[in-house]
A and B are shown apart, each in its own frame.
Chain A
Amino acid sequence: MKKILVACGAGVVTSTSAMNKLQEELSNRGIDSDKYTLGQSSVAQVESLANDYDLVITTTQYDNDAIKIPVINGLPLLTNIGVDVVIDEIIDKLNLN
């Protein structure tokens, strides 16, 4: 079971939208929701939560050397521009295929 953290500014609105799109896109790729779990937070909480996750997706720019798991910019989950590339990257980093 892979654990994905989705973070935005306040951890409420934008990340909710991004999470929903992520689930939809993974489902379109035939990846069932029992293969992963999702968490949601503000970017300020990412550092303290990262140890419990395999991957972080942020809708804001996020640079933090203390984070040892992959960090992916999830903006395409909101704009749909380049979403396939991001989904490929998430699947690849988590070996979801």
Chain B
Amino acid sequence: MELLSPKFVFAQVKASSADEVIHYLATQLKDNGKVKDTFEEAVKAREQIHPTGLPSGEIAVAIPHTDVQYVNEAAITFATLDHPVEFHNMAVNDQLLEVQIVVMLALKDPHSQVEMLQKLMALFQNQELLAQLQKITDNRQLYDAVSKYI
């Protein structure tokens, strides 16, 4: 099963906060039946307690997600942002990161999706590629570029 589908890849999303990005992506997942109605609130609540900003380098990313119980069917959403929004650093309390790429994960069984997770982490380490992805303005083109790597 493909976790990433063209309808869940968004180029240069305009948002003014982490909550707005989470709302936008969670709504896409919910409207397609991938997650339960409670998913969005669960992701936001989790982000408060256990933030998911990843200091991956010049281009920082965030991987908002929550417990598997809120997920119907595994999917991931991938968004580049028109301008950065602040997420908290997962590893350092009270440190904010200017995040430019948000990958929201709705996973059912993470252990069976280890390969995808590792590809995702490798992608985040490829800052040159992330910079190229940032420039893409068309959703489909972004999907085509991202799907080669995850």
A residues near B (Cβ < 8 Å) are 8-10, 12-14, 16-17, 20-21, 43, 59-61, 73, 75, 78-81
Contacts and interface: CB of A to CB of B under 8 A. Distances in A.
Contacts of A20: 114, 117-118
Nearest to A8: B50
Given A9-B46, A60-B50, A79 B55 contact: yes
Interface string B2-45: 00000000000000000000000000000000000000000000
Contacts of A13: 63, 65, 105, 107, 110, 117
B131 to A, nearest CB: 16
Given A61-B93, A79-B56, A10 B66 contact: yes
A49 to B, nearest CB: 17
Nearest to A20: B114
A10 B55 CA distance: 19
A43 B50 contact: yes
Contacts of B111: 16
Given A13-B117, A79-B55, 12 more contacts: A9-B90, A10-B66, A12-B67, A12-B68, A16-B111, A17-B117, A20-B114, A60-B91, A61-B91, A73-B91, A75-B55, A81-B57
Nearest to A42: B50
